[in-house]
Amino acid sequence: MAARITRLVLVAGLLALTACQQPLAGATAPSAVPATSAPTAKPSQTVIAIYDIIGTTPTLRLVTLDGQQVASTPLAPDASVAGAGGDVAMFVEARGTLKALRLNGSVMSLGTLTGRNGPVAVSPTGGAWMWATLSGAAGNYSSSIVLSTRGGSDRALTTRSSPLLGFWPYRWTPGGPVYADQRMGIDWHSPFGPPVGASWRVDAQTGQVSSLLPDTCQIADLAADGTMACFPSATPFAPSRSIRLQPPGGQSRDIPLTTATFDRWGAVSFKPGSTVTVLAIGSGTVVSPGPPTDHPLQIHLLNAATGALAPLGPAGLEPADGSWAWLQDGSLLAYRQVGISGGAPGVYAVTPDGSTRRVYPSGIPIGVLTGPPGPGA
């Protein structure tokens, strides 16, 4: 399988917005391997993890906000990137070995994800990650959600059998790790990743699982205060034309996504610390699987107080997928792929006024490293 990145892009707006536990057999202890590059970044410096392909060689790079590469490692064509946090950027090799490129330039092994299905959700500290397993075949799937920590054992939090559904790690949100149902065998056509169904939140400290949303509203993001953003009545073939905000214990509100240019939405994230809920949303159109083709893309900011939806930055940019995309100065990380109109490809920082700064000339940002890992999650 080719190296890949799972992306959910909502480019239309920016919103500032368990079952019994048991040890999972086969957990392996972390081990270090020789360094691949010399470190130059300070532990407290913000560094972007970028999945990049130059020619036919996939590469995982660690790049500072001023565009200086501090570490890199080549990836096998069948490897996949996972995410970043703390002092590491993670990737998965073909046989399920989870590895991490560190700020000091070394690569270490974190364990084996036996039977993994879908993406890996990495905590902001890089000290924990959530993943799913899948076994069986059509009509008889068995899926589990697993929580792992550096130096600790893997914990299978919940397991379920289903004729059609498997668990799908969605992302590690400001409100905690979130997973959802994914219908197996669906050929999805979207710039923002596969559609998901009912969703759940994991308490990273206790491992307890709690229900978030039914399959009638597709999870988009979960804020630190428990406010949820979701797409009501979204399906692989009939995308939602609105986004729903549901505060904890409060009344939900549906906000129309009214634009004639776009018919797909994704990569939604709440802007941290916003006094008025603001969401970053990616907007696009239906695309076929395969290499990127030129199609309309635009980042939008959604002001939840007024319902106003306004474009942010030039056309052709997609927002990075997660709350980590928001930088301390209020800028938003975004990227433009090769072949997409609107400007040069690369990784960009988009300021609140819509101006852009090109951080790196190629690649897709997958996470931000901010220093050494904290304990556990």
Q: Is residue 249 part of a domain?
A: yes
Bridge partners, residue 137, by sequence: 140
* 196: Cα within 13 Å, side-chain hemisphere: 29
- 3 within a domain of the structure (yes/no): no
Domain limits for position 223: 21-369
> Could you say which residues of the chain have pLDDT below 70?
1-44, 185-195, 234-239, 259-261, 263, 275-276, 286-295, 373-377
pLDDT per residue over 2-34, tens digit each? 343 433 333 333 333 333 333 443 344 344 444
* Domain presence at residue 198: yes
Question: Is residue 168 domain-resident?
Answer: yes
The answer to whether position 13 is within a domain reads no
With 0-12 / 13-18 / 19 or more C-beta atoms within 10 angstroms meaning exposed / middle / buried, residue 312 is: buried
Per-residue model confidence (pLDDT) at position 57: 87
- Quote the pLDDT of residue 296: 78
What is the rounded CA–CA span in Å between residue 108 and residue 100? Answer: 5
Output the domain CATH number for residue 275: 2.130.10.120
Choose among 170, 294, 198, 190: nearest CA to 238: 190
Residue 196's pLDDT is 81
Rounded-to-integer distance, Cα 67 and Cα 142, Å: 44
Flag whether 7 is in a domain.
no
3-state secondary structure of 228: strand
Query: Does a structural domain hold residue 15?
Result: no
Q: pLDDT value at position 33?
A: 42
* Tens-place pLDDT, residues 238-248: 667 889 999 99
Q: Domain for residue 50, yes or no?
A: yes
Read off the tokens for 65: 């906000």
Question: What is the tally of structural domains in the chain?
Answer: 1
